[in-house]
Chain A
Amino acid sequence: MSWIGAHLVEIVFWGFGGFAVVAAPLFDTYLIPFEITSLLLLAAVVGAVVLAKRKL
C-alpha cells in the first residue's frame, strides 16, 4: 500500500505535467513573463471595474 502511495506521489511530482516538471521552468526560465502576466491581470481587473461601473 505504501509502495503504491509512493509511486503515485512520484507520478504526480515528476510525471508528465507533474508539479515539479511544470513549476520549475515556470518560476525559473519563464519568471519575467509570469510577472508581466500579473500586470496584465491587474490592468484587466481595473479595466473591467471601470467599464462595469454603473456611473461612468
Chain B
Amino acid sequence: MLLGPALAVSAVLFAIGAAGVLLRRNAIVIFMCIALMLNAVNLTFVAFAQQLGTSGQIFVFFVMAVAAAEAAVGLAIILAVYRHKETVDLQHINLLKG
C-alpha cells in the first residue's frame, strides 16, 4: 500500500538534496540538502517497513539521532569557519589547500 508513491517522493527528495549539495555554494544550504537526503532515506525505510517488518522504523530513529549529532557538529564547524574567514561561501573556503 502506497509503496510506489512513497518511493517516488523519496527519490525526488534525494535527487533535490544531491543536486543542492553538488550545485550550491552556501554552506548552510548544502547542510540543509544533506538533511534532505537523510530524510529521503528515512522515508524509504518507513515505506519498506510496511511490508518487511518494524526494524526499518527502529532504524529511522537511529538515523535521526546520527543526523542530529551531525547537525550540531556541522553547525559548530560552520560557525568556527565563519569566525575565521568572515564568510560561509564554500568558494572562498580553501583552508585545506596547501
A residues adjacent to B (C-beta < 8 A): 16-17, 21-22, 25-26, 29-30, 33, 37, 40-41, 43-45, 47-52, 56
B residues adjacent to A (C-beta < 8 A): 46, 50, 54-55, 57-58, 61-62, 65-66, 68-70, 72-73, 75-77, 79-80
Asked if B76 and A51 make an inter-chain contact with CB atoms under 8 angstroms apart, the answer reads yes
Q: Helix, strand, loop or mixed for chain B's interface?
A: helix
Asked if A25 and B55 make an inter-chain contact with CB atoms under 8 angstroms apart, the answer reads yes
Asked if A51 and B58 make an inter-chain contact with CB atoms under 8 angstroms apart, the answer reads no
Asked if A22 and B68 make an inter-chain contact with CB atoms under 8 angstroms apart, the answer reads no
Asked if A44 and B79 make an inter-chain contact with CB atoms under 8 angstroms apart, the answer reads no
Asked if A17 and B76 make an inter-chain contact with CB atoms under 8 angstroms apart, the answer reads no
Asked if A52 and B79 make an inter-chain contact with CB atoms under 8 angstroms apart, the answer reads yes
